[in-house]
Amino acid sequence: MYTKVIFVILLSVMVFSLSQTVFAAHPSTGVILPLYISPGNAWHDVVQEKIKHHKVPMLVIINPLNGSGHVKNNNYADGIHKMQSRDISVLGYVYTDYGTRNSTDVKNEITNYKNWYNVNGIFFDQMSNVPGNEVYYVDLTNFVKSLGLTFTVGNAGVDTKPSYIKTVDNIVIYENNTLPSISSLAGWHKNYDKNNFSIIAFGIDGLDKSFVSDASNSIGYMYVTNGVLPNPFNSIPPYFGDLMDALDVRPPVPHHLVLTMGSADLSKNELKGMWTELHDSKGTKISQGFGPKSYVVTSGNTYTVFVSDYQNIKFVHWDDGSTNPYRTIIPTQDSTVTAYYDTTAPDNSTTTLTVKTADMSGDVISGMWTELHSTTGHTLNSGFGPKSYVVTSGKTYTIFVSDFTNAKFDHWENGSTNPYRTIIPTQDSTVTAYYSGTPDVDP
C-alpha cells in the first residue's frame, strides 16, 4: 500500500463478523474499508450505512499512528466501540515489511491493539508473497488468536501463492488505481473458498455495479473508492452507499404459481378421475389427487409429475409428445400440462388374489392388516386379513402385511421373510403370511 508520513500503506481489509463463527455464516461478499482518518463524520457515516445494510459483512481497518501508536487514544476507543455495537468488525493496522520486520515489534503492536482498543483482529500490511515467508505469518496469526482476537488479513496487494492460503484468514490479492479484470480473479483461486481473498481499488470515479456483481463470485471482500494518492483512504467515496446496496444481496422472495394437471382421451375430450402425483426434485411426493388437479408450485423449481392408468384407460402421451408417465417440469408461469389416454384399450381379464394370515401352526389369524400396491408404490387397496383382492391377470403387484401387538410377521409360505412381496397373479391364488405370537387384543 501507499504511505504518507504517518499514513500507512494501503490497507486491504476483508469484511469479517465479530467472531469466526459469525464470519463463516456470511456467504455473501462483504466490504473491506481502510478508514485512515480520525474518528468523526466519516466514522459516523460508516456506522449509518451498516445500520441500513446490516446483513452486509463489514470490516473496518483503523490506523491511529502508522500502527497502534505509543498511547491509547480515547477518541479511537469510543469510535471503535460504536462500530462494534453495530456488528462492524474492526482490525488494527500493523506493517510487516514483507516478512522482514522483527516479529517481536509486530507482536507488541498487536498487544497494544488488544489492550487499548479490544479490536476484532489484525491487518498485516506489506505482506510477502514469495515462498519461504509463510511461517512468519502463521506465527503472527497464531499469536493474534492466542490473545482472543478472531481474524487476520494479510495485504500482499498483488497475486500470491497457494502456499499462503491459511497463513492468515484472508489475503488482499489486488490493490491498485484501476479495477482488476474478472478473469484475473478466477484463476487458481477457484480451488479455494472465495472468503480467502479480497481486493481494493482506488481512484475510481464511479461505481460499476456489474463489476461488483461479477467480482463477488470470486472474492469474499472488496472496497472501491474515488480517493487518490498519497492517501486514498482519508474519506469514504460518495458512492459508498451504492457499494453497500450492490453487496446487500437478499434471497429472492419465492414466487408461487399454479400448475394444473389435465387429462383427456385421444379425441381431446376431458377425462376426470385419473390419478396424478407431484414430486420434488429429489423424488419426494409433495401432493397427489384425482385429475384435473391444480398444484401450487414455486417458480423456477424443478418438479416431476406422474399419472397412472386405471383399468382399461391407458396413458399414451403428454401434450409435448413424451410417452413416459413421469415428466420433469420447471414452471415459470401458471401453466397446464395434459396427459392423453386411450380409453378403448381392451380390459384385461381379472383374477382373485387372497392374502391369508395365520399363526405358526397354520391356524387363521383374523384382523391382520394387508395392503395391495402397484408397481409405482401406489396403494391400490387395503384391509384386514384374510383379504381377497380383484387384480388384473399378468400384472405385477406388491402385497404387504404388518405386525400388530404381539403378532409379528415371520415369513410367507414360500419362505420369504420380507413383509413386502412381489407377485404376478395369472389365476385365482392364495398367499399366506405366517406370524409368531398372536394379537393380545382384537384389532
pLDDT digits (tens, 9 = 90+) for 326-339: 999 999 899 999 99
CATH no. for 350-436: 2.60.40.10
CATH superfamily to which 256-342 belongs? Immunoglobulins (2.60.40.10)
Residues 94, 96: Cα–Cα separation, whole Å: 7
pLDDT (0 to 100) of residue 439: 81
Asked if residue 20 has pLDDT above 80, the reply is: no
pLDDT digits (tens, 9 = 90+) for 118-148: 999 999 999 999 999 999 999 999 999 999 9
In this structure, what C-alpha cell is assigned to residue 171? 489475503
Copy the grid coordinates of residue 275: 390419478
Residue with grid cell 382421451, as numbered in its chain = 265
Looking at residue 347, what is its pLDDT?
55
Q: What is the pLDDT of residue 21?
A: 30
User: Which positions ≥6 away from 374 have C-beta within 8 Å?
Assistant: 308, 380, 397, 398
pLDDT at 5: 30
Could you tell me if 225 and 233 are in contact, meaning their C-beta atoms sit under 8 angstroms apart? yes
Which of 65-79, 229-243, 305-319 comes out lowest in average pLDDT?
A: 305-319
| Whole-number pLDDT of residue 395 | 86
186 confidence band (pLDDT: 50, 70, 90):
confident
CB 424 within 8 A of CB 397: yes
Look at residue 22 and tell me whether its pLDDT is greater than 80: no
Whether residue 181 is predicted with pLDDT greater than 70 in this model: the reply is yes
Average pLDDT estimate for 357-382: 91
Question: Residue 441 has what pLDDT?
Answer: 54
Mean pLDDT on 359-369: 92
The DSSP call for residue 58 is E
The answer to whether the beta carbons of residues 15 and 30 sit under 8 Å apart is yes
The 8-class DSSP code of residue 283 comes to S
Q: How far apart are CA 399 and CA 425, in angstroms?
A: 12
Q: Domain locations in the chain? A: 20-247, 256-342, 350-436
Q: What is the dihedral of CA 12, 15, 19, 24, to 10 degrees?
A: -120
Residue 16: pLDDT above 70? Answer: no
Q: What integer pLDDT is reported at residue 12 of this predicted model?
A: 34
> 211-218 — which CB contacts under 8 Å span 24+ positions?
211/179, 211/182, 212/243, 212/246, 212/247, 213/246, 214/182, 215/29, 215/180, 215/182, 215/185, 216/28, 216/29, 216/247, 216/249, 217/186, 218/182, 218/185, 218/186, 218/189, 218/190, 218/194
CA 96 remoteness from chain centre: 38
pLDDT in tens, 46-62: 999 999 999 999 999 99
CB of 352 within 8 A of CB of 389? Answer: yes
Residue that the C-alpha cell 455495479 belongs to: 209
> CB-based burial of residue 281 (10 Å sphere; 0-12 exposed, 13-18 middle, 19+ buried)?
exposed
Residue 15 clears pLDDT 90, i.e. is over it: no
Between CA 344 and CA 99 the distance in angstroms is 85
How large is the average pLDDT for residues 355-379? 92
The pLDDT value given to residue 253: 65
Residue appearing with cell numbers 456506522 = 47
Peptide bond preceding 331 in cis form (omega within 30 of 0): no
> pLDDT: is 191 or 153 the higher one?
153
Q: From CA 418, how far away is CA 400, in angstroms rounded?
A: 9
357, 411 Cβ separation under 8 angstroms:
no
Q: Above 90 in pLDDT, residue 99? A: yes
Is 7 a residue whose pLDDT tops 80?
no
Rg of the chain (C-alpha set): 35
Superfamily covering domain 20-247: Glycosidases (3.20.20.80)
CA–CA gap between residue 395 and residue 372 (Å, rounded): 12
Is residue 348 very low, low, confident or very high in pLDDT (cuts 50, 70, 90)? low
Q: Whole-angstrom Cα distance, residue 136 to residue 407?
A: 71
Beta bridge partners of 276: 289, 307
Confidence of residue 311 (pLDDT cuts 50, 70, 90): confident
| DSSP bridge partners of 49 | none
Q: What is the pLDDT of residues 262-286, one digit of tens each?
A: 999 999 999 999 999 999 988 899 9
| Per-residue pLDDT at 255 | 81
What is the mean pLDDT of the segment spanning 429-433?
95
- Average pLDDT for 155-177: 96
pTM (2 d.p.): 0.56
Examine the pLDDT at 8 and tell me if it is beyond 60. no
The answer to whether 20-247 and 350-436 have equal CATH topology is no
pLDDT of residue 174 exceeding 50: yes
188: DSSP letter: G
Residue 226 CA to residue 240 CA, distance in Å, equals 10
Contact 37, 233 (CB under 8 A): yes
Backbone angles phi, psi at 174, to 5 degrees: -155, 130
For residue 379, give the C-alpha cell: 396403494
Determine the Cα angle at 360 with ends 355 and 362, to 5°.
Answer: 55
Chain mean pLDDT for the chain: 89
In this predicted structure, what is the pLDDT of residue 250?
67
In the chain, the largest separation of any two C-alpha atoms, in whole Å, equals 101
Where is pLDDT greater, at 29 or 17?
29
What pLDDT, on a 0 to 100 scale, did the predictor assign at position 349? Answer: 73
pLDDT band at 419 (very low <50, low <70, confident <90, very high): very high
- For the cut 50, the answer to whether the pLDDT of residue 24 exceeds it is no
Q: Which three cell numbers stand for residue 277?
A: 402425483
Rounded to 5 degrees, what angle do the CA atoms 325, 326, 328 make? 140
pLDDT of residue 13: 33
* Residue 4 pLDDT exceeds 90: no
- Grid cell, residue 400, equals 404387504
3-state secondary structure of 207: coil
With a pLDDT cut of 70, the percent of the chain lying above it is: 91
